[in-house]
Amino acid sequence: MKNPSTYPVSARGPADHDVRSQIVAAATEHFSHYGYEKTTVSDLAKAIGFSKAYIYKFFESKQAIGEMICANCLRQIETEVSAAVAETDAPPEKVRRLFKACTEASLRLFFQDRKLYEIAASAATERWQAVIAYEANLQKLLRDVLQEGRLSGDFERKTPLDETVMAIYLVMRPLLNPLLLQYSFDYAEEAPAHLSNLVLRSLSP
Amino acid sequence: MKNPSTYPVSARGPADHDVRSQIVAAATEHFSHYGYEKTTVSDLAKAIGFSKAYIYKFFESKQAIGEMICANCLRQIETEVSAAVAETDAPPEKVRRLFKACTEASLRLFFQDRKLYEIAASAATERWQAVIAYEANLQKLLRDVLQEGRLSGDFERKTPLDETVMAIYLVMRPLLNPLLLQYSFDYAEEAPAHLSNLVLRSLSP
């Protein structure tokens, strides 16, 4: 591979996006194998075959790379969950799929496929921007499902919507948040069904 | 203090219980200040003023001392929670108190008063006997409250009781289990009310 650190900085343009994606893809691969915490930008540069200086032209720190990996990962969970919810028209079934898809996607992305747990844990502990946006998006999705169910008459309307969203979000948290999910493996199989059934009983008009 | 390691082993008798309690009390104090993981039995012996050999006459390992501290701590939470639940006759109010008392007692005992978090975390991770017994007792208490509410007509009876107990226990878990509770401080104030209200809506006949 040509050493990209010899590219002139002034050459930045549309191709920058590609280089950033390339760094993120290689870093994701590297962190998956060697962990996020212990890897330095130097290790990463060596592994990718870029110079450290070149990486710093695109990302100001290891965390900036981690944040992009994390954002990609959370966006994928969001996409999977939205797709699962959109597959059905019935609001109660949407609630069930929300619980199931959230748990399955989180387990797979944080703990199995890519071993991104360390990045996800740092992100959750330090409340990176991507995490805040992700939580807001999931709450928005939940709120939309609840509103739909209230309109269709499937769900009760007495409880203030904000309160219902908050309470259900708290019920889902151990299945979403990687810090909590790591201690919930024993329950991960059955918890989504148990919890979504309880939530559906709480929503009955 | 007279060096107790000079006591003959054959003198064991009713006083053993007192010595064990004395070691546990001193160890609780010591672990509270210096942490459980990093303290060795030698450190502990020095701090208490007993010989290491003498401590080993009463406890086979540091974990055996930790288990007794943990069992005492969990017993205290259980006592507080049972008392809070017994203060009212109305099953729905019992559910509210169960959530509130569990959270408050766990926060105080694991994280504030005695800094017993490290012991509680080891106990929860390794599923010590005391933890298994504690979880079973809390589930029993929950089951009794639910059964009472089913009899009084406050709670629905359609859902199998085992399923209801399991689902509500899963909702309570982040407020009980020290490994999860450490990541729930931001919600600890409002979560018990939000979650018990949701649970009560799910129980309505």
So what CATH class is B7-60?
mainly alpha
d(CA B128, CA B63): 10
- Is the Cβ pair B195, A170 closer than 8 Å? yes
What single-letter DSSP state applies at residue B3? -
- Does B198 lie at the interface with A, CB-CB under 8 angstroms? yes
What single-letter DSSP state applies at residue B110? I
> Which tens digits make up the pLDDT trace of A50-92?
899 999 999 999 999 999 999 999 999 999 999 999 999 999 9
Percent with pLDDT over 70 in chain A: 92
**Residue linked to tokens 């408050």:** B104
pLDDT, averaged across chain A: 89
In this prediction, residue B3 carries a pLDDT of: 47
Question: Quick one: which of A107, A167, A163, A169 has its CA closest to A138?
Answer: A169
Question: Quick one: which of A205, A165, A191 has its CA closest to A96?
Answer: A191
| Domain boundary assignment for chain B | 7-60, 65-203
- Does A186 lie at the interface with B, CB-CB under 8 angstroms? no
In this prediction, residue B161 carries a pLDDT of: 98
Percent with pLDDT over 90 in chain A: 68
What is the mean predicted confidence (pLDDT) over A18-42? 87
- Look at residue A8 and tell me whether its pLDDT is greater than 80: no
- Is the Cβ pair A198, B197 closer than 8 Å? no
Give the number of C-alpha atoms closer than 13 A to the C-alpha of residue B104, restricted to the C-beta side. 12
- Does A127 lie at the interface with B, CB-CB under 8 angstroms? no
A204: closest chain B residue by CA: B202
Based on the number of CB atoms within 10 Å of its own CB, is A81 exposed (0-12), middle (13-18) or buried (19 or more)?
buried
For chain B, residues with pLDDT lower than 50 are: 1-11
Fold of A4-60: Arc Repressor Mutant, subunit A (1.10.10)
Which has more pLDDT, A112 or B48? B48
Instruction: Provide, as residue numbers in chain B, all residues whose Cβ is less than 8 Å from the Cβ of A172.
Output: none
- Is the Cβ pair A195, B166 closer than 8 Å? no
The Cα of B204 is separated from the nearest Cα of chain A by a number of Å equal to 8
In this prediction, residue B30 carries a pLDDT of: 87
How many contacts, defined by CB atoms under 8 Å, are there between A and B? Answer: 73
In this prediction, residue A5 carries a pLDDT of: 45
Best residue of A142, A171, A203 to probe chain B, by most B CBs closer than 10 Å: A171
**Residue linked to tokens 């709450």:** A139
Query: Can you tell me the ipTM of this complex?
Result: 0.87
Give the number of C-alpha atoms closer than 13 A to the C-alpha of residue B19, restricted to the C-beta side. 20
Instruction: Provide, as residue numbers in chain A, all residues whose Cβ is less than 8 Å from the Cβ of B171.
Output: 171, 195, 198
Say if residues A1 and A49 touch (Cβ distance below 8 Å). Answer: yes
Instruction: Provide, as residue numbers in chain B, all residues whose Cβ is less than 8 Å from the Cβ of A183.
Output: 124, 177, 179-180
Q: List helix spans (H) across B153-205.
A: 161-176, 178-181, 191-203
> Which tens digits make up the pLDDT trace of A175-190?
999 999 999 998 999 9
- Does B159 lie at the interface with A, CB-CB under 8 angstroms? yes
CATH 1.10.357.10 corresponds to the domain B65-203? yes
- Look at residue A11 and tell me whether its pLDDT is greater than 50: no
What is the amino acid identity at position A1? M
> Which tens digits make up the pLDDT trace of A121-151?
889 999 999 999 999 999 999 999 999 999 9
Beta strands (DSSP E) in A54-127 are none
Instruction: Provide, as residue numbers in chain B, all residues whose Cβ is less than 8 Å from the Cβ of A203.
Output: 201
The Cα of B106 is separated from the nearest Cα of chain A by a number of Å equal to 17
What are the b/e assignments for A14-27, b being 16+ CB within 10 Å?
A: eeeeebbeebbebb
- Does A1 lie at the interface with B, CB-CB under 8 angstroms? no
**Residue linked to tokens 């203060």:** B87
Say if residues A40 and A62 touch (Cβ distance below 8 Å). Answer: yes
- Is the Cβ pair A191, B174 closer than 8 Å? no
In this prediction, residue B115 carries a pLDDT of: 67
- Does A197 lie at the interface with B, CB-CB under 8 angstroms? yes
| Three-state DSSP class for residue B95 | helix
